[in-house]
Amino acid sequence: MSPRTDQKNYVSIFRPLRHALAFATLALLTLAPVRAQLTIEIVGGAGTAVPIAIVPFDGEPAGPTSISYIVGQDLARSGLFKLVDPSGVSPRPVRIEEVQAPAWRAKGADAVVVGSAKPLADGRVEVRFALVDVVKQAPLVAMVYAVTPAQFRATAHKIADVIYEKMTGDPGVFSTRIAYITKQGPRFQLLVADADGNDPQVIVTSNEPMLTPRWAPDGMRIAYVSFESKKPVVYVQNLATGSRAAVANFRGSNSSPAWSPDGRTLAVTLTKDGGSQLYLMNADGSNPQRVMTSSSIDTEAMFMPDGKSILFTSDRGGSPQIYRLPLGGGAVERITFDGSYNVSARPFPDGKGFAFVRRDGGRFQIATQDFASRQVQVLTPGPLDESPSVAPNGKLILYANEVGGRGTLAAVSSDGRVKQRLVSQATDVREPAWGPFPRP
């Protein structure tokens, strides 16, 4: 657990943005042309958000570093919860049995979170919380943690994950991390931060571009492409030690790393034998094997969650489209058909569909497609949306866009209803990558 005390280093913060949402909605309504029949356009905002009251925990000083405050911020930011002001209910409940449902129903809350933080003799703090459904008047979950003050933020994210899962049925992603690349003047940096943008840590600084950060499934290594030797070379860096190795540094260009689900294999695009072609290699770069021979561009490989096939981008049909290659043998199958530019496929964790980038006229947009129905759903208005990265629970898609000529990050729920943007200071931000669930 890393210390999370430096509050001055905020680089970016998720914020649900009503104005941006209204604008995006307007843009879609006025600018989107009529599209092929299988495409559904989302023009509405978030539907119903669960009203939930987070009562300040007993024994905690109030303020933005308190656990209960961070829990509330996490939940509100997801777009699926609406915070109900807990003030005015007296006495303030701390335990399940002290929650008086009628008082909370009167304030409009469907659920209430109570808790406490009590110092222990060994210097740690005992953090308790409970979630109560005040509609059904039933406790939903209660837990206790013994943590150091440095672990307060992580504990708050864990509590938010538990509440999110109880209320929505899906695991929360508040305890996960993200990676992204910034450009400030001539300087490029690869950073890792908590999913809420807190605790950003620079892991690479370079005067040459970097792109395509990809988390290993263990969350301990990141593969990326760096131009520091005046050409694209694929590196794998260990996050614990900072040590790294060039795993693909062949003649020509080396790019587009992707991890197999077991973390043992990397798919990469190499040009050493002519043309951009797909190879599989061990995660240390040994034993590169070409997976297929084509006279076209084949790149942007991503493993399906079961590891049995890869999605990739190819121009073999005349325009860039997404294809699927079974790794156990079998024919390559074209997956996208709607439009002349469909690239950057990112499978959802349930394997039923994928997020990707489509071009519609001159606009690049984030969309999803279902494998079975081939139904395409456009999630973002463009015009320069790229590099989607799916959260490990499949519910949010982080992506890069451009606002006022500057690269910024944004997120959209995979149903298109919730839109977030990641605000940053005066720097160009790009290439977001959502990390895996933390290992227990």
Partner 1 sequence: MKKFLAAIAVVAILGGCSTQPSAPVDDQSTAAAAAAAAKSGTTTSGATTSGISGSSTGTGGNPLRDPNNVLSKRSVYFEFDSFVVEDKYKAMVESHAKYLAGNKAAKVTLQGNTDERGSREYNIALGQKRAEAVKRVMVLMGAQDVVIETVSYGKEKPKREGHDEAAWAENRRVDIVYFGE
Residues contacting residue 376 through CB under 8 Å, at least 6 positions apart: 36, 38, 39, 40, 338, 358, 367, 368, 369
Q: Tell me the site size for partner 1, rule CB under 8 A.
A: 36
Q: Is 210 helix (H, G, I), strand (E, B) or coil?
A: strand
Binding mask 395-424 for partner 1 (x = CB under 8 A): ----------x-------------------
318 binds partner 1 (CB under 8 A): no
The one among 39, 68, 237, 256 contacting partner 1 by CB under 8 A: 256
Q: Does residue 51 touch partner 1 according to CB under 8 A?
A: no
Answer yes or no whether residue 332 interacts with partner 1 by CB under 8 A: no
CB 27, min distance to partner 1, A: 17
CB of 311 to partner 1, least distance (A): 13
Our CB check for partner 1 shows the closer of 274 and 328 to be 274
> Is 88 or 362 the residue whose CB approaches partner 1 more closely?
362
- Of 222, 200, 219, 201, which Cα lies nearest the Cα of 211? 222
Give residues 175-234 in contact with partner 1 (rule: CB under 8 A).
209, 211-212, 225, 227, 230-232
| Complex with partner 1: residue 174 or 354, whichever CB lies closer | 354
Residue 384 within binding range of partner 1, rule CB under 8 A: yes
Closest to 179 (Cα-Cα) out of 203, 161, 156, 154: 203
Among 386, 394, 401, 420, binds partner 1 (CB under 8 A): 386
In the complex, what is the shortest distance from the CB of residue 376 to partner 1, in angstroms, rounded to a whole number? 17
The answer to the question of residue 313 lying near partner 1 (CB under 8 A) is yes
Q: How far is the CB of 227 from partner 1 (least distance, A)?
A: 6
Amino acid identity, position 407 = G
Q: In the bound complex, what is the minimum distance in angstroms from residue 334's beta carbon to partner 1?
A: 16
* Nearer CB in complex with partner 1: 68/321: 321
Q: In what order do the strands lie in the sheet with 298-303?
A: 298-303, 309-314, 321-326, 333-334
Largest CA distance in the chain: 74
Site string for partner 1, 363-382 (x = CB under 8 A): -x------------------
Of 67, 157, 167, 151, residue with least CA distance to 112:
167
Of 8-16, 43-51, 117-125, 266-274, the segment contacting partner 1 by CB under 8 A is 266-274
Contact present, 406 and 183 (Cβ < 8 Å): no
Consecutive H or E run containing 22: helix 18-31
Helix H, strand E, coil C: the string for 255-309 is: EEEEECCCCCEEEEEECCCCCCEEEEEECCCCCCEECCCCCCCEEEEEECCCCCE
- Which DSSP string do the residues of 161-185 spell out, in sequence order? HHHHHHHHSS---TT-EEEEEEEET
Contact residues: partner 1, CB under 8 A = 209, 211-212, 225, 227, 230-232, 251-253, 255-256, 269, 271, 274-276, 297, 299-300, 313, 320, 341, 343-344, 357, 359, 362, 364, 384, 386-387, 405, 430-431
